[in-house]
Amino acid sequence: MNRITSSYLLLLRSVPRNIYRANILHPFISRLYTETTAELSKAQLQKLRGQEQRFKRRLHSIHRKFANVPENSEFQGHHHVYFEDGKGIYRSTLGLGEQEMVEVFRADWGGDGYGSIQRVRLSPTENMLAATVKKDHNEETRCMLVHLGGVNLHQNAMLVLDNVLSFEWAADDVLFYSTQETLRCLRVFRLHLSDSGVQTTLVYEEKDPEFFVEVSRSRDQRLVTINCSSKISSEVWLIDSKTPLSFPTLIQSRQPGLLYHVEHSDNHLFILANTGAHLEYQLLRAPLASPSMPHWVPVFSAVPGTVIKDMELLQDHCVFTVKDSQCRLQIQTLTTKEPYQLNTLQLPHWACDLSPQRVGTVDRGSFGFLLSSPVHPPVHYLYSSRKQKLSITEEDTRHISLPEFNTTRLQAASQDGTMVPLTLLHMPALSELYNAPLLLHVYGAYGVDLNMSFSPERRLLLEDGWALAYCHVRGGGERGLAWHRAGSVLQKRRGVEDLAACIQTLHHLGVSHPALTALTSRSAGAVLAGALCNHNPQLLRAVILQVPFLDVLGTMQDPSLPLTVEERGEWGDPLIREHRDNIASYCPCHNIIPQLYPPILVTAYSEDSRVPLSGVMKYVERLKKAIQMCTTRVDVNARVPAVILDIQPGGDHFGPGDFHLSLNESARQLAFLYTELGLDHQKTRRQKTKRQKKAQKP
């Protein structure tokens, strides 16, 4: 259900949003992005073309190798099982064994250019289906409603709604949905499919521009909730599905500093609120009839040293996903009736990411989820509340016996003494990594955890002998709400210090060295990466920045941009002198100095609206000038580091949805890494073959 990682947290500078100001930026870009810079970047990219083609072939191969790993693409209704492949939705009847899948929905029903499915919901009795589809190469979405009743399915959408972000069924004929305009989601509508026609009613409108509104549903389908969230507070309204045409009821009015999320079972609300020790999440309970805060009764708080990351509410159990101080995942279960009983289930040591399975129209008293790591493909696990144990499906056992690799949990002492968790993935032993190339990953913003789901590209690097490090710096969410607060607003520089400490700790332990160390980050994570390059460029040999947010000061000073107001809780408000001075002290674009920077590959999209392209251009131009000043003034004979700006068409902040375009981008980045680190592409493949043969010997 992902109650904690709400849409508000995800829909910032980290996941797709609708296009805004797409055509306004182009004239300015053309002036700022000089012909010299464009021609130089094009020439530098052309030099990588041969390597890029070789890596593209290898990436095709490794994607084929893992083509059949489990995906979160199946869900069940009362009578059918559904399968979604990104372009279409198909179903078969439950309990009839093998049978032909029947198509019930296609993404291209949305019209020309709509190519990928984003979100799917079945109505309570499986009579209706609603799905949002995204337009290719940008983030415009459209919601379509399909009637599933009768023998012959209507092969078309019965209703199309534009700019819908979130939606839930309260009944077969009542749908609640939120709309998004200029990157702001402030309104919720009720759609009633009555005999007299379609009736649309505005049921909620948010007046505070710092808040973001989304619609969700309790796992038991009893409640539809309207969740209003800012960076420092939240407010939830509920609609009882027994009376879906009634107006929403407020649970608890917003208060500064109070964050909460709501689930339901047996006429009680189960509330995750940051009312625990150190303002972390704890579980509370309240009667549905008396939902306000005076009636909240504490039920469970995380064990010291762990934090609650998510919760699923089954028929008689709460299932918590928690992380310990070294970011190891655990499952904890709690009975929902007194006397409460807590049980802890250990997960495999390699597990770095847990993705809950989709819930259909029937809660079957079990919790399915996929476990993976950046180099370990997903494995499907199932927790049964009746048996109170985890099980794994037989077809997934083949992915347990992959070539051996190591998951090492480390900690780095930051400048102020804080211990920063660090996850290291590698094949050779820790003591044999000095000459191994090292790729670091960092994000550290919005209280969002670093993405550690499976990536065939990362698996390729691991098999080539790379060490992969994931730095869980302050500002992210790995260690809870306090961890985020410790790296936001006036404390944002802590994340930069944490990143430097992680790199220095690895080098001190003999894991690679600066000449073989590269750093990659995307979106808001580029703030830390860019700041590190300004202050400690000697730690790195190459940097990859994807859709990078680099001009924090310039962006946050422009209130006309749609994200500026919402994100003051993350970066600060430049109208406050203390905040402005703090942003100016670390902003990557405003702290460039004449020195030798590591080679940098910047990938951006011409119509990306969440990260203004003008800021990326400004950064690249200033960086090139600073490097030129350094090399001219000092008369150094060293190779001038490459600064490559790769501007791709489109406005999808998450990159191209097309598989081949995505593969091209990944291949280009791998070619850049191998070139700048001076690695022999063929030699690494020969070394991989030797390791495999050695592992096969008895």
Residue type, 344: T
Buried b (16+ CB within 10 A) or exposed e, 552-572: bbbbbeeeebbbbebbbbbbb
Q: Which of 7, 310, 653, 666 is catalytic?
A: 653
Which is nearest to 58 in space by CA: 690, 688, 515?
Answer: 688
Whether the bond between 588 and the residue before it is cis, its omega within 30 degrees of 0, is: no
The Cα angle at residue 668 between residues 667 and 669, in degrees rounded to 5: 90
The Cα angle at residue 557 between residues 555 and 558, in degrees rounded to 5: 70
Residue type, 207: K
Residue 134 near residue 141, CB atoms below 8 Å: yes
Q: Which residues pair with 351 in a beta bridge?
A: none
Whether the bond between 339 and the residue before it is cis, its omega within 30 degrees of 0, is: yes
Q: Which of 310, 353, 498, 608 is catalytic?
A: 608
Please report the sign of the dihedral spanned by the C-alpha atoms of residue 580, residue 582, residue 583, residue 586. positive
Q: 3-state class of 49 per DSSP? A: helix
272 burial via Cβ count (<10 Å: 0-12, 13-18, 19+): buried
Longest dimension (CA), the chain: 81
Please report the sign of the dihedral spanned by the C-alpha atoms of residue 315, residue 321, residue 324, residue 325. negative
371 burial via Cβ count (<10 Å: 0-12, 13-18, 19+): buried
Tokens at 480, concatenated: 């809870």
Residue 671 near residue 55, CB atoms below 8 Å: yes
71 burial via Cβ count (<10 Å: 0-12, 13-18, 19+): middle
Q: Which of 523, 609, 614, 666 is catalytic?
A: 523
Active site residue 508: no
Active site residue 523: yes
Which is nearest to 516 in space by CA: 601, 434, 411?
Answer: 434
Active site residue 147: no
As annotated, the active-site residues are 523, 608, 653
